Amino acid sequence: MIDELLGDTEIRRAAVAARPDIDPAITIARVSWGVVTEPGDGVAGALIAQLGESEALRFGLGPQNFGLSEKAIEEGRKRWMPRAQPRAIRDALRDAAEVGARLLLPGDAAWPSALDDLGDHAPVLLWVRGDQDQLSSAGSVSIVGARAATAYGDAIASELAGDLATTGTLVVSGGAYGIDGAAHRAALGVGGSTVAFLAGGVDRAYPAGHQQLFERIRESGAVVSELPCGAAPTKWRFLSRNRLIAALGDATVVVEAGWRSGSLNTAGHASALGRPLGAVPGPVTSAASAGCHRLLREYDALCVTNAAEVRELTGMSPTGTRGESRPEPEQVQLLDAMSTRTPRSPADLARTAGLSSERVKGLLGTLALEGRVSREEFGWLRVTA
């Protein structure tokens, strides 16, 4: 099939137009893989990793076998063959050119290497509308959550995303209604960077009500998909798209999520990738926070309540730290026994506090050095804080 595609003048011209800087055979092979596979097809990934995109296509869609488990590749072929139509490849290239979507390939300077952590499930390509360089920003946080967000969730997502974007952190999300939209908007609002991963082609606005938001993201951020233009978002593609959101963020934070929210899937991907996972708590009476509480209970997510804690998450060690030290018990006993108005003798204090006079004298010395007690003519006073 690859040879047939290479021989097609229109396809070849479109491939050169899409990426004048590289061998059109590579462009065509990648675009073809993007057309024939569903996102995250591990067999295709393994094949491409072993053979390169062109050879993989030649053998994956050709008659011979080549390494890998025979059964896996056989089943892969059966998945891909029904879609291996030159017209589909041509359409993918043409439609992308029409909307100005750029083709980003592994190895490109702008390719986000974080996605390679997905191994055989890494995307074979990305279609990008907007500033592709934002995909490889130095610091990034994925902020996701319920479509049916509450005012509380909207406010928290906005606050977190706005604060993070202000300090140069890329805000990654999925462009959905609710939390995703609030996160993108807040990042845009402070002139920050934001990337939206879509579950369908970058030529369509899904949800349609976010048409304008996507336009704004394209102007100062990037709208990205691994699916060819024209591809409809399906449930599977949403689930697959979530792995890209989880992989691109240095950490993933779920702001609000229902008990069975798709955000839990993104969270699961982040965990599986070893990315730190945060969940924002909310009222236990709010169904929109039930998924976040589930993440705290079942997924070892860390409770995050503000942007500083999210930053801590991105650079965090595996386990949190215990609270700070508390005042010495005997100091508390002694301070309990002291008055801020009536000076008392060490002997008096000893009896009231239930400490020895000697110990009281020692403690008074320490506390005096710290400025917490003062010596008066007729005894000791506690100094008010």
Q: How far apart are CB 37 and its own copies at their closest, in Å?
A: 7
Among residues 307, 301, 311, which one has the least CA distance to residue 279? 301
Residue nearer to its own copies on the CB measure, 298 or 370: 298
**How far is C-alpha 20 from the geometric centre of its chain's CA atoms?**
32
- What is the identity of the amino acid at 175? G
Q: How far apart are CB 106 and its own copies at their closest, in Å?
A: 21
Listed in order, strand segments (DSSP E) in 52-149 are: 102-104, 126-130, 140-144
Residue nearer to its own copies on the CB measure, 100 or 119: 119
Torsion over CA: 39, 44, 48, 49 (sign): positive
Residue nearer to its own copies on the CB measure, 5 or 160: 160
Q: Which residues contact 191 (CB under 8 A, 6 or more apart)?
A: 165, 220
> Which residues form the interface with its own copies (CB under 8 A)?
36-38, 41, 75, 77-80, 82-83, 152, 155-156, 234-237, 239, 264-265, 268, 280-285, 289-290, 292-294, 296-300, 302-306, 309, 320-323, 326, 329, 332-333, 335-337, 347, 350-351, 353-359
Residue nearer to its own copies on the CB measure, 26 or 88: 88
Q: How far apart are CB 254 and its own copies at their closest, in Å?
A: 13
Asked whether 72 and 98 are in contact (CB, 8 A), the reply is no
Bridge partners of 277, per DSSP, are 252
What is the C-alpha separation between 90 and 138, in angstroms, rounded?
35
Residue nearer to its own copies on the CB measure, 90 or 294: 294
Q: How far apart are CB 212 and its own copies at their closest, in Å?
A: 28
Residue nearer to its own copies on the CB measure, 41 or 180: 41
Asked whether 192 and 158 are in contact (CB, 8 A), the reply is no
Written as one string, the DSSP assignment of 159-187 is HHHHHHHHTTPEEEE---TTHHHHHHHHH
Q: How far apart are CB 28 and its own copies at their closest, in Å?
A: 19
What is the C-alpha separation between 249 and 276, in angstroms, rounded?
9
Q: How far apart are CB 240 and its own copies at their closest, in Å?
A: 9
